[in-house]
């Protein structure tokens, strides 16, 4: 049992991050059948990406924001931005479901893709700037909670979503059942304790889930279901939404 969970964690880290975890036969299968590995990687990757925030009281805020942005993509990679780019092109194209699916598979980069990726990167940079202005440990709690919430949302997509066609999305949805969502939820909920008694971590968690729900909802309506590109786009959008929600909560509460 422990070996299966270690394999799932390796598979998740290999897919979701750039961490040098290695790869063994069966890791990918173990990961797809154990969606709780999603938020586990959220804890580890989120903590690593949040390290630059520890310098918020020493370095200028813009420098910390840039370091956070670079750390996020150093840990998690830029491959999920490809989903953002494809979603951006699909959003602006005129046509039916099949036409939008064709755009997702098209390797040509359009204006929609450029705008979508630019918006996400800018939004994450501004989120880092906002984090640099809050107390250090609160900022770290928000960053980790947003990452865990994002990965919990991806687990929800795997457990409850339906794939639009054969591909990466279907590999997740076919391997996970609705009841499988209990485990990732149990793994993710303790992250709210990072800012206790302040609710900012909880708000970041919920904000990430809400942000991730936007591309999921759009894909169900306009693509007939989710795909690997939607998983990638949801990952990026959820992170941005979660961090901004957490900072807003700290500002208002």
pLDDT in tens, 176-208: 888 889 999 999 999 999 999 999 999 999 999
Residue 226, classed as helix, strand or coil, is strand
Q: What value does the mean pLDDT of the chain take?
A: 89
pTM, entire model? 0.93
> Which among 204, 70, 80 has a CA at the least distance from the CA of 139?
204
Task: Please report the pLDDT score of residue 195 as a whole number.
Answer: 93
CA neighbours within 13 Å on the CB side: how many for 45? 32
* C-alpha span between 96 and 87 (Å, rounded): 15
Kindly report the number of other CB atoms within 10 A of residue 60's CB atom. 11
Task: Please report the pLDDT score of residue 107 as a whole number.
Answer: 65
Domain ranges for the chain, please list them: 39-252
- Whether 147 shows a pLDDT value over 90: the answer reads yes
Average pLDDT over residues 144-162: 94
Least confident of 62-66, 87-91, 239-243: 87-91
Highest mean pLDDT among 101-110, 222-231, 233-242: 233-242
How sure is the predictor about 94, in pLDDT bands with cuts at 50, 70 and 90?
A: low
* C-alpha span between 84 and 144 (Å, rounded): 22
How sure is the predictor about 134, in pLDDT bands with cuts at 50, 70 and 90?
A: very high
* C-alpha span between 55 and 62 (Å, rounded): 12
Q: State the first-to-last Cα distance of the chain, in angstroms, to the nearest integer.
A: 43
Least confident of 20-34, 120-134, 215-229, 239-253: 20-34
8 Å CB contact between 231 and 169: yes
Q: What is the share, in percent, of the chain residues with pLDDT greater than 70? A: 92
Q: How far is CA 218 from CA 22, 62, 87, in A?
A: 35, 34, 10
* C-alpha span between 158 and 37 (Å, rounded): 12
Average pLDDT over residues 222-243: 91
Task: Please report the pLDDT score of residue 199 as a whole number.
Answer: 95
| Cβ neighbours for 2, distance < 8 A, ≥ 6 positions apart | none
């Amino acid at each position: 049992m422990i070996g299966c969970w270690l394999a799932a964690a390796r598979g998740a880290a290999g897919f979701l991050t750039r961490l040098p975890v290695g790869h063994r036969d069966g890791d990918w299968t173990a990961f797809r059948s154990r969606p709780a590995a999603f938020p586990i990687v959220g804890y580890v990757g989120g903590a690593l990406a949040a390290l630059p925030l520890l310098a918020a009281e020493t370095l200028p805020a813009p420098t910390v924001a840039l370091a956070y942005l670079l750390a996020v993509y150093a840990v998690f990679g830029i491959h999920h931005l490809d989903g953002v780019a494809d979603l951006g092109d699909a959003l602006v194209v005129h046509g039916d479901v099949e036409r939008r699916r064709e755009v997702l598979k098209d390797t040509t980069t359009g204006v929609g893709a450029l705008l979508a990726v630019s918006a996400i990167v800018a939004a994450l940079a501004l989120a880092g700037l906002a984090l640099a202005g809050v107390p250090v440990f609160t900022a770290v709690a928000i960053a980790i909670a947003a990452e865990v919430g994002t990965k919990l949302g991806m687990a929800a997509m795997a457990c409850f979503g339906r794939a639009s066609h054969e591909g990466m999305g279907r590999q997740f949805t076919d391997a996970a059942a609705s009841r499988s969502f209990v485990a990732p939820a149990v793994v993710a909920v303790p992250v709210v304790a990072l800012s206790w008694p302040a609710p900012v971590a909880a708000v970041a968690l919920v904000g990430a889930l809400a942000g991730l729900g936007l591309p999921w909802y759009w894909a169900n309506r306009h693509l007939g279901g989710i795909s690997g590109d939607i998983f990638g786009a949801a990952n990026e959008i959820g992170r941005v939404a979660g961090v901004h929600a957490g900072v807003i909560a700290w500002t208002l509460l």
